[in-house]
Amino acid sequence: MKKWGINMKKQLQHLLKGKSIELVPVTEEHMEFICNEESDEELWCYEEHVETDKNRIRKKFIKRIEENDVFDFIVKRSSDGVQMGVVYIWECITSRKSWEIGYVILPEFQGNGYCLESVQLLLSFAFNELKAHKVLGMCHCENKKSASIMEKAGMSKQGVFREEYLCGGKWVDQFYFSMLDREYHNNYK
């Protein structure tokens, strides 16, 4: 099935290589890592809900492997193959060619540029392979690291969704970032 110039079922052929990392498409072999990372409530402290049932997480990600509108990647360090995190890109509005990104790097690997490089690779994949018109990302307003990553990657802060979701029992604001295809192609020549 062709969609935006890419055969989505060939997801496993999309190994994305950067200077210090590789983004490897998630397979069933990665499920233990995925389940541990996705169920870590401390790691996801800025989210409204953290799924802790590892069976549900496993089913969700196995299903996503076959879906045409989502790509999940393990972030591996190129030098030794260590798994450091997970990044995601999913189609949010088909008719608008809009895709959303998400990412997480384990705490022991943060501060080394791996997350920024991951987001840059996702943006390249989105605009060059998926032919996205827009890529967006959102984060809790207190998640300064996540906001900084999107800004450093060249995404523009579009605004704040006030009291967007419940987190830790209180309503919190959420930043909204985006990048258009023309901005990407002008900035990443």
CATH code for position 83: 3.40.630.30
Angle, CA 104 vertex, CA 17 and CA 126 arms, to 5°: 50
The tens digit of pLDDT for each residue in 122-143 reads: 999 999 999 999 999 999 999 9
The answer to whether residue 158 scores a pLDDT higher than 80 is yes
The tens digit of pLDDT for each residue in 51-60 reads: 999 999 999 9
Instruction: State the SS3 of 91-153.
Output: EEEHHHCEEEEEEEECHHHCCCCHHHHHHHHHHHHHHHHCCCCEEEEEEECCCHHHHHHHHHC
Does 82 fall in a domain? yes
The answer to whether residue 14 scores a pLDDT higher than 70 is yes
The pTM is what? Answer: 0.90
Number of separate domains in the chain: 1
